[in-house]
């Protein structure tokens, strides 16, 4: 009986996270409340507090889950694609698929609200970007060694530029609701790395 209750609790927590993630990606962290989630789930806010004692705790859980899912996508790219340029294209496609769903990268939108976030959330947002930058730098190093990519400066600097450009391209494309604007930026960015 206890394991069934735990499974039910986990399903409810997952549903809370799913709704909160969508709200963050479409509205931002500061523009939704527990009442918004409770209304959508048709439960009380007290029930939400059972799973996540505070909005800060919920926010940290959101970033942790999002970063883990993104990390799994990067591992899948590493397993399935050997060419560095194709890896970078697959990376840009991760962002494009989020934007296609009329959402923003969750950590990108949280970065815009960074100063208002609790410290654990701030550290988690930075961790997300650091992990992505490390992965990109590894891809760039490999591509330069294999002579499939060419760039000036360090791999770390170029990785930061790629990450920043894709996050910014999402922000600029969002008000137009035009994925082609993002894709054009991504193509231009990656074509500059061709050897």
54-84 pLDDT, tens digit per residue, is 999 999 999 999 999 999 999 999 999 999 9
- Between 8-12, 82-86, 133-137, the lowest mean confidence (pLDDT) is in 8-12
List C-alpha distances in Å: 14 to 50, 62, 91, 181.
13, 10, 26, 33
CATH assignment at residue 67: 1.10.357.10
Task: Decide: helix, strand or coil at residue 149.
Answer: strand
On whether residue 126 sits in a domain, the answer given is yes
Q: Can you tell me the mean pLDDT for 170-192? A: 95
On whether residue 32 sits in a domain, the answer given is no
Q: Can you tell me the mean pLDDT for 89-118? A: 96
pTM: 0.91
Whole-number average pLDDT of the chain: 94
- Which pLDDT belongs to residue 3? 41
- Which pLDDT belongs to residue 5? 44
On whether residue 1 sits in a domain, the answer given is no
- Which pLDDT belongs to residue 15? 95
Nearest 5°: phi and psi at 83?
-75, 130
Number of domains within the chain: 1
Range of the domain at 139: 56-191
On whether residue 85 sits in a domain, the answer given is yes
Angle (deg, nearest 10), helices 119-145 and 84-100: 140
- Which pLDDT belongs to residue 4? 44
* Whole-number percent of the chain with pLDDT over 90: 91
Contact 7, 17 (CB under 8 A): no
pLDDT band at 194 (very low <50, low <70, confident <90, very high): confident
Integer Cα distance of 178 and 33 in angstroms: 29
pLDDT band at 195 (very low <50, low <70, confident <90, very high): confident
On whether residue 107 sits in a domain, the answer given is yes
């Amino acid at each position: 009986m206890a394991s069934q209750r735990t499974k039910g609790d986990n399903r409810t927590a997952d549903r809370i996270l799913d709704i909160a993630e969508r709200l963050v990606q479409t509205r931002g962290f500061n523009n939704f409340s527990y009442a918004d989630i409770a209304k959508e789930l048709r439960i009380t806010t007290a029930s939400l507090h059972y799973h996540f004692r505070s909005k800060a705790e919920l926010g940290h859980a959101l970033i942790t889950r999002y970063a883990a899912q993104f990390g799994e996508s990067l591992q899948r790219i590493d397993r399935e694609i050997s060419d560095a340029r194709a890896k970078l294209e697959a990376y840009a496609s991760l962002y494009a698929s989020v934007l296609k769903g009329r959402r923003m990268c969750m950590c990108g939108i949280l970065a815009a609200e960074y100063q208002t976030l609790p410290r654990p959330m701030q550290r988690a947002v930075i961790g997300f970007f650091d992990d992505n930058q490390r992965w990109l730098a590894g891809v760039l190093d490999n591509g330069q060694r294999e002579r499939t990519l060419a760039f000036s400066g360090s791999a770390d600097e170029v990785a930061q530029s790629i990450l920043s450009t894709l996050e910014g391209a999402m922000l600029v494309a969002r008000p137009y609701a035009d994925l082609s604007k993002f894709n054009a930026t991504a193509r231009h960015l990656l074509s500059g790395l061709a050897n």
